[in-house]
Amino acid sequence: MRVKLYREHKYVSFALNELERLIAKTDFTDPAALAHIQSEWLHVKEMLQAHASHEEHNFHALLERKGSTIHHNAHNDHEHQEETLKNLDCLLEAIKTSSDPVEGGYQFYLAYRKFVGDNLLHLHEEETKLLPELQRLCTDEELRALEHPTYDIMTTDDLKEMVQVLFPHMNVSDKSAFLTDIKLAQPDKFLELWEQASSFLSSEEVRKFQES
């Protein structure tokens, strides 16, 4: 099986949908509930910005070096995403001083829900168009190397936190791919991480990884 990028999209989709469900049932007349939404929204927004930046500076840059232009639509989506995030910021902030916070909350919900739908189409394009192009143009070693700088600067605790966040939304194949990449990039850190495998893998998953 070829190296497959974008596995973290499973978590991205989960996080966006979880926030949509929270917004849908929020009482926007309650200042504490509004503050909670703002906190959760900030977390999701920062995650999306970091995710887009990683793709731009690594995946898109590699495609550029290979002479491909297939990523241009995804790049434009990232730029449009920044505009949308700012608009959502404004809609959420306006609820604080709105004479009708219920209506303000509803308008924020509608705008956010549309953003979630648009983002699903964006993720789909990356996995069905950009990924095959990256696999066609690049060796598995080149694709794995995209994550090496990230693993270089992450501590073992950082790696553990990452897999604990991502793995609940992945199947055993995804988990094995992540762990294999870490093992190849940072064997010493992997050994330290593996000592704590019971905190992010089931006993059956540990067995399957050891046998692979």
For position 1, what pLDDT does the model report? 84
For position 180, what pLDDT does the model report? 95
Contacts of 89 (CB under 8 A, 6+ apart): 45
| Of 124 and 212, the one with more pLDDT | 124
For position 212, what pLDDT does the model report? 80
The count of C-alpha atoms lying within 13 angstroms of the C-alpha of 170, restricted to the half-sphere facing its C-beta, is 24
**Rounded-to-integer distance, Cα 68 and Cα 204, Å:** 41
Average pLDDT rounded to a whole number, residues 49-67: 97
- For residue 71, report the phi and psi dihedrals to the nearest 5 degrees: -85, 0
> What crossing angle do the helices spanning 101-125 and 9-24 adopt, rounded to 10°?
160
Average pLDDT rounded to a whole number, residues 179-207: 96
Shortest CA distance to 91 belongs to which of 125, 62, 60, 115?
A: 115
The model's pLDDT over 26-55, given as tens digits with 9 standing for 90+, comes to: 999 999 999 999 999 999 999 999 999 999
The model's pLDDT over 100-136, given as tens digits with 9 standing for 90+, comes to: 999 999 999 999 999 999 999 999 999 999 999 999 9
| 20 neighbors 116 (Cβ within 8 angstroms) | yes
State both tokens at 122. 């964006």
Average pLDDT, the chain: 96
Contacts of 23 (CB under 8 A, 6+ apart): 37, 105, 108, 109, 112
Q: What's the first-to-final CA gap in the chain, in angstroms?
A: 13
Percent of the chain with pLDDT over 70: 100
